[in-house]
Amino acid sequence: MKIAIVGATGLVGSVMMRVLAERSFPITELLLVASERSLGKEITFGGRKHQVVGLEAAVAAKPDIALFSAGGATSKEWAPKFADAGTVVIDNSSAWRMDEHIKLVVPEINGDQLTAADKIIANPNCSTIQMVLALRDIHRNFGIKRLVISTYQSVSGTGVAALEQLDGERKGEKPAMVYPYPIDMNCLPHGGDFDEDGNTSEEMKLVNETRKILGDPSIQVTATVVRVPVKGGHSEAVNVETRKPFELDAVRKMLAQTPGIKVQDLPDTNTYPMPLYAEGKDEVFVGRIRRDTSRPNALNMWVVADNLRKGAATNAVQIAERVKDIIG
């Protein structure tokens, strides 16, 4: 298949290439697409060098699938142009996620809803993907009434410049500031832009995307997003209140049997998920599974994943694999 990666020079774009290679995705032609300042740059993939091309040239080439990770403004302008040319766009930005006509997909949950008519498909936010995968069977079996989420998100979720800020601060330098405050030795309860109610855009993604992916607008969701001085991997403390009673052993068994989930939950041996050990892996790791005794039908769990892989690139490539099977 002819594949385009829009935003190929960025963090997620580079991981997309790595995941495509690891999963042996059948590529007959690869188009690496970026902004004008990167045109002509050479990137090695599959043992050969590829020159970065512009968006217009990529549209004209009519790729079968275009993986977008170039920001919302680029996606809003260019995804429809690719779609009009017959390309299926899988977009990693927030531009299309809440469009009622666009599907928001985590393949293990709702990938079976994709059809040949879907020309723009939205990839969810990184923190949403890992959480809803862990919630999938809890919701299907017990019904989720309410979620209380606190995230501990790595700086790689903000991009290369944020990594450079963290590295510079650790070296005692004065790097360009991506965040409004230092991030090293600090935690910032601030992800995205604040709205008039005091919530941030990253927090509202967890609220709205969770409801859309799980197909239940009645789920009550509240979230606090925190950026922490970790280079890679997002962590989440998730409190789940269900509509029906459950047994913890049944929850653990369901999680262990969920594709893409790895349970790490042995307190006696200090076995629990940590971002340091999730980095570079595709699984979503779940641990600290325990009953919340302050409320009926409630439990706590700790959910960790590599935000650049399952939280972005791997999920997008898994969608592409589904699309490949649909369009042949």
pLDDT for 46: 86
pLDDT for 36: 82
pLDDT for 38: 84
Q: What are the residue numbers of the active site?
A: 126, 234
Q: Which residues pair with 323 in a beta bridge?
A: none
pLDDT for 190: 96
Q: What is the mean pLDDT of each run of 10 residues along the chain (328 residues)?
A: 96 96 96 88 90 96 97 96 98 97 98 97 98 98 98 96 97 97 98 96 98 98 98 98 97 96 98 97 98 97 98 98 94
pLDDT for 47: 87
pLDDT for 5: 98
Residue 276: alpha-carbon gap to chain centroid = 18
pLDDT for 328: 80
**CATH 3.30.70.120 given to domain 2-123+312-327:** no
pLDDT for 168: 98
Q: Determine how many CB atoms are found less than 10 A away from the CB of residue 308.
A: 26
pLDDT for 250: 96
pLDDT for 3: 98
Domain ranges within the chain, ordered by starting residue: 2-123+312-327, 127-307
Q: Where are the beta strands (DSSP E) in the chain?
A: 2-6, 29-33, 42-45, 48-51, 65-68, 88-91, 103-104, 120-122, 144-153, 220-227, 234-242, 261-263, 284-291, 298-305
CATH of domain 127-307: 3.30.360.10
